[in-house]
Amino acid sequence: MSTTMSRTSRAVSLATLSALVLMALTACSFSIGSTPEPSSEPTRDAQELNADALAAYVEAERATMPAVMEQYPGLYADASVDGTFEESDGDGDLPAGTYAVVWYDYTYANPLDWSTATVALEGQRSTFDDLCESTVFPAMRRAGITGPLGAVWSYKDVTSESGPMWSHTCSDE
């Protein structure tokens, strides 16, 4: 393996683990007090409450992004978090239902050797799954999110024009 590929693999692995640790710390600290208060309005339904809870959780996760960016100066050009509700018809790997999904998107600041980076990220799949089960999904529940849950991590670099170069999805179903 060349020195450049070894550095790429090491940088991707370290950065990925650091970002996951920071997210885990935030998710663990998401307090029940941060859960949006149920409205006394009789017209508010469970779907609206769920949307409010997802929005609050995403905002808490967004607050971690400056720390992720500072952890490795110059490594990421961008790191963002978003939340959506996604429908599954049950034809794929997921059972049918409406999933509350948190999207973690990372853009590396410099072009990478993606064959090496993909190998490094593939080696982290079980770490992502463990983080979902032990930290992310319990924190989402504490935030008041109900129903099936999902999380998607995606990575690209500044030269990526057609979406992520690598992504991973986990769900609680």
How far is 108 from 13, CA to CA, in rounded Å?
Answer: 13
> pLDDT under 70 in the chain at which residues?
1-44
Residue 33 is predicted with a pLDDT of: 42
Residue 8 is predicted with a pLDDT of: 56
Residue 164 is predicted with a pLDDT of: 94
Residue 123 is predicted with a pLDDT of: 96
Side-chain-side CA neighbours of residue 132 (13 Å): 22
Residue 29 is predicted with a pLDDT of: 46
Identity of residue 49: L
Residue 19 is predicted with a pLDDT of: 54
Phi first, then psi, for residue 77 (nearest 5°) are -85, -30
Coil, helix or strand at residue 96: coil
Residue 159 is predicted with a pLDDT of: 93
